[in-house]
């Protein structure tokens, strides 16, 4: 894994989706921007909102695609292409049904696991990017998934998610240095 130069939070644009579980990726990049004093600005050529942070002398772009979830790859491809960022230097942050609320796990590569944002990103970029999986829990049955991800989490689950996001944001310096193993160890010890 190379040093991370682009962190993408997956979510859906619009006020009606702001507090839904599917927007956990947006919540993460918003927290990182807040910690580093960065401000998101709309950027039409990247089909999203972007911010830039600097940590230990390294620049990193933050992206919230304004395409809908199933077209996330379009925005990621546009900014990666423009700044010549390889998939190995991209971290995609997304909600994860297969982890309990409040868990946060890093991994490199893999499939999409039915996640439409990942599916489109893999189609446009290949699968070699890193992922930060933010657990939202599972509704219990496949038929309930769409409704579940597009609803707000309970107060308790939202607190767990916010805590996980905060803990995960603390490994950003390691990710920007390319020390994925250290970031993983710190995060997985806390989860």
Query: Catalytic residue positions?
Result: 22
Q: Which of 120, 62, 67 is nearest to 93 (CA)?
A: 62
What gap in Å lies between CA 120 and CA 76, rounded to an integer? 10
Sheet holding 58-65, edge to edge: 41-43, 48-55, 58-65, 6-9, 90-96, 130-135, 104-108
CB 178 within 8 A of CB 90: no
Whether 68 and 14 have beta carbons less than 8 Å apart is answered as no
Across the strands, what pairs with 9? 93
> Among the residues of 4-115, which ranges form H helices?
24-35, 72-82
- Residues 140 and 89: their CA atoms lie apart, in Å, by 34
């Amino acid at each position: 894994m190379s040093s991370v130069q682009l962190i993408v939070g997956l979510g859906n644009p619009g006020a009606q989706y702001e507090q839904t579980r599917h927007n956990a990726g947006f919540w993460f990049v918003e927290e990182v921007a807040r910690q580093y004093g960065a401000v998101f600005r709309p950027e039409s050529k990247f089909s999203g909102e972007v911010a830039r942070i600097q940590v230990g002398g390294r620049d990193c772009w933050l992206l919230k695609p304004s395409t809908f979830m199933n077209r996330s790859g379009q925005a990621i491809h546009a900014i990666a292409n423009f700044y010549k960022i390889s998939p190995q230097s991209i971290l995609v942050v997304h909600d994860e049904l297969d982890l309990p609320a409040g868990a946060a796990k890093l991994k490199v590569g893999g499939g999409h696991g039915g996640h439409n944002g990942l599916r489109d990103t893999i189609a446009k970029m290949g699968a070699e990017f890193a992922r930060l999986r933010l657990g939202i829990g599972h509704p219990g049955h496949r038929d309930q998934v769409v409704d579940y991800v597009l609803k707000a989490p309970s107060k308790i689950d939202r607190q767990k998610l916010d805590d996980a996001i905060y803990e995960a944001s603390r490994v950003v310096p390691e990710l920007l240095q390319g020390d994925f193993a250290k970031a993983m160890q710190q995060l997985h010890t806390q989860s």
